[in-house]
Amino acid sequence: MAKVLMINPMVREEDDPKHVPMGMAQLAAIAIKKGHQIQIYDHNAWRADDEQIKEVILSDNWDLIGIGGITTAYASIKKIAKMARKILPGVTISLGGGVLTSLPKEIMKWLPEIDFGFIGESYVTFPEVLEMIDAGKSDWHKINGTISRLEGGELYFSPKRELIDNLDALPYPAYDLFPVEEVYFKNSAMMYSEAGMLATRRLDINASIGCSLICRFCYHLGIAGDMRYKKDAKGKIVNVEFDQPKNYTRTIRYNSPEYVVQLAKYVEKKYNANYLYFLDENLMTMDVFSRRTWLKEICKLWKENDLVPKKRKDGTWKGLYWSGTSHATLCEPEILKTMGEHGCAHLVYGYEAFDDRILKLMGKGSTRKTNIRSFFWTLEAGIRPIPNQIIGFPTEDFDSLKMQMKAWDDLGVMVKPHFATPYPGSEWFTVYRKKIEEQYKGQGKKLGLSDDLEAFILDLGDATRVSAVISKNFNAVELIGLREMMVHRQYEKIDQYEQEWRKKHKIPEGQPSTLCGQDNKEKNLEIKAAAK
Beta bridge partners of 93: 65
The reply on whether position 42 binds other proteins by CB under 8 A is yes
Q: How far is the CB of 45 from other proteins (least distance, A)?
A: 9
Closest to 482 measured CA to CA, from 388, 414, 417: 417
Q: Select from 22, 48, 288, 372 the one that contacts other proteins (CB under 8 A).
A: 48
Q: How far is the CB of 50 from other proteins (least distance, A)?
A: 11
The span of 171-179, 295-303, 369-377, 448-456 binding other proteins (CB under 8 A) equals 171-179
HSE-up of 75 (CA within 13 Å, CB side)?
14
> Which one-letter amino acid corresponds to residue 291?
R
Burial 280-297 (b: 16+ CB within 10 A, else e): bbbbbbbbbbbeeebbbb
Going residue by residue from 228 to 267, which x/- string records binding to other proteins, judged by CB under 8 A? ----------------------------------------
> By CB under 8 A, is residue 40 in contact with other proteins?
yes
Total binding residues toward other proteins, as defined by CB under 8 A: 25
Rounded CA gap, 149 and 104, in Å? 12
Contact status, residue 405 vs residue 375, Cβ threshold 8 Å: no
CB 39, min distance to other proteins, A: 3
Least distance to other proteins, CB of residue 289, Å: 36
| Least distance from other proteins to the Cβ atom of residue 200, Å | 19
Nearest to other proteins of 51, 509 (CB atom): 51
Q: Which stretch binds other proteins (CB under 8 A): 172-180, 253-261, 279-287, 442-450?
A: 172-180
Identify the residue among 41, 322, 423, 501 touching other proteins (CB under 8 A): 41
Q: Report how far apart the first and last C-alpha atoms of the chain are (Å, whole number).
A: 59
3-state secondary structure 172-183: CCCHHHCCHHHH
Q: Does 462 bind other proteins (CB under 8 A)?
A: no
Distance of CA 367 to the CA centre of its chain: 23
Give yes or no for residue 139 binding other proteins (CB under 8 A).
no
When the beta carbons of 192 and 289 are compared against other proteins, the nearer one is 192
What b-and-e string marks burial along 137-156, b requiring 16 or more CB atoms within 10 Å of the CB? ebebbebbbbbbbeeeeebe
Q: Under the criterion CB under 8 A, does residue 461 sit at the interface with other proteins?
A: no
Residue 239: strand, helix, or coil: strand
> Which residue's CB is nearer to other proteins, number 181 or number 380?
181
Residue 49 binding other proteins, by CB under 8 A: yes
The stretch near other proteins (CB under 8 A) out of 34-42, 184-192, 377-385, 427-435 is 34-42
Residues 52-71 that bind other proteins (CB under 8 A): 52, 55-56, 58-61
* CB-nearer residue toward other proteins: 50 or 139: 50
Contact of 50 with 87, CB cutoff 8 Å: no
Which is nearer to other proteins, 83 or 214 (by Cβ)? 83
Which of 70, 67, 58, 83 has the alpha carbon at shortest distance from 115? 67
Contacting residues for 351 by C-beta, under 8 A, at least 6 apart? 328, 366, 371, 375, 387, 388, 389
H or E stretch at 39: strand 37-42
Q: Which residue, 179 or 365, is less far from other proteins as judged by CB?
A: 179
Environment class of 469 (CB within 10 Å of its CB; exposed 0-12, middle 13-18, buried 19+): buried
From candidates 177, 221, 347, 391, binder to other proteins by CB under 8 A: 177
Least spacing, CB of residue 264 vs other proteins, in Å:
23
Residue 518 in contact with other proteins, rule: CB under 8 A: no
The binder of other proteins chosen from 11, 24, 38, 70 (CB under 8 A): 38
Regarding 197 and contact with other proteins (CB under 8 A), the answer is no
- Nearer residue to other proteins within complex by CB, 43 or 357: 43
Single out the residue of 22, 32, 124, 132 in contact with other proteins (rule: CB under 8 A).
32
- Nearest partner of 202 among 181, 173, 172, judged by Cα: 181
d(CA 79, CA 87): 12
Least separation in angstroms between residue 213's CB and other proteins is: 34
CA distance 73 to 10: 6
In the complex, least distance from residue 57 CB atom to other proteins, rounded to whole angstroms? 10
| Closer residue to other proteins in complex, CB, 66/343 | 66
DSSP of 84-124: HHHH-TTS-EEEESHHHHHSHHHHHHH-TT--EEE-S--TT
Identify whether the C-beta of residue 422 lies closer than 8 Å to the C-beta of residue 434: no
C-alpha span between 86 and 113 (Å, rounded):
9
Residue of the chain from 182, 306, 410, 495 that contacts other proteins (CB under 8 A): 182
Task: Provide the pairing of β-strand 253-254 with 208-209.
Answer: antiparallel
Residue among 139 and 182 whose Cβ is closer to other proteins = 182
| 176 is an interface residue for other proteins by CB under 8 A | yes
Question: Which H or E run includes 502?
Answer: helix 491-505
Which of the ranges 30-38, 341-349, 412-420, 521-529 carries the binding residues for other proteins, by CB under 8 A? 30-38
**In angstroms, rounded to a whole number, what is the distance separating the alpha carbons of residues 432 and 438?**
10
Among 14, 151, 165, 519, binds other proteins (CB under 8 A): 14
Look at residue 372 and give its three-state secondary structure. helix
CB of 206 to other proteins, least distance (A): 20
For other proteins, the binding residues (CB under 8 A) are 5, 14, 32, 37-42, 46, 48-49, 51-52, 55-56, 58-61, 176-179, 182
